[in-house]
Amino acid sequence: MAQANTSIVTGAGAGIGRAIAQRLAQAGDNVLVVDLNTSRADETVALINEAGGRGQAAVLDITDAAALDALIAETRNLRCLVNNAGIFDVKSFDTLTAEDFRRMYEVNLVALFGLCQRAARVMGSGGAIVNIASRAMLGASQYIHYATSKAAVGGFTRSLALELAPKGITVNAVAPGVIETDMLRARSDTNLDALRAMQPGGTLGTPDDIAAAVQFLASPEAKFITGQILLVDGGRSLGGSLGI
């Protein structure tokens, strides 16, 4: 019997990452649930296994190069890598420091690069890399350091797609808009009613909305799509006001 393909999902202990891991498991992949938090990773694995899928926890810090080496060395039949892990905080421009930018880039871009590079070395033709960007890359107030790091993810995605196309590996990104997660609710600047009022349809997204987009881009059906950044934001990026 052929061995199942493997998908790696970082930041899969909760929210969007958990939904992505569950979706890929439902599609038949063995999913490595990568997270810093042991209990959250184990909970995601339990949910996957209870639903009849195959999941395994990998507790590590994605900024740890040795840990990434070990992860890839122990992974068989890697078909898909989803770079979902990232950090975020609210900080006004006049209080930002250079260290804030370095910290944001170290996790949101440099660690992502490191895992992509290692994964691409063992992926075969038909492999897929999906990075999680953000609608904030179009511009955002009160977290410029985050927005610029996610804009960098967009440029990285398009450039890497060109590098890996000859190997038959697709590289795309999903850029979520406002997704209702525990992380969103915990933010110091969150007003859910105000956020809903800014949406053309009056509703916020769910983690599964993002997971569905990721699953498609990671699937064989998307083999002719690469270097794209898919905005999944309920139309908020269209701008303007309804009826004007």
Decide: 225 and 218 in contact? Cβ < 8 Å: no
Bridge partners of 179, per DSSP, are 205
Strand ranges of the sheet holding 54-59, from the earlier edge strand across to the other edge: 54-59, 30-35, 6-10, 78-83, 128-132, 170-176, 229-232
Catalytic residue among 108, 119, 146, 178: 146
Contact partners, residue 99, CB within 8 Å, separation at least 6: none
Residue 15: both structure tokens together: 């929210």
Separation of alpha carbons 15 and 33, rounded Å: 13
The CA distance from 218 to 171, in Å, is: 9
User: CA–CA separation, 39 vs 234, rounded Å?
Assistant: 32
Check if 105 is active-site. Answer: no
Alpha carbon distance 41, 45 (integer Å)? 6
Angstrom distance (rounded) from CA 31 to CA 23: 10
For residue 78, list its beta bridge partners.
6
Q: Which amino acid is at 78?
A: L
- Cα gap 112→200, rounded to integer Å: 32
In angstroms, the Cα distances linking 28 to 47, 100, 117 are 15, 40, 25
Q: State the catalytic residues.
A: 146
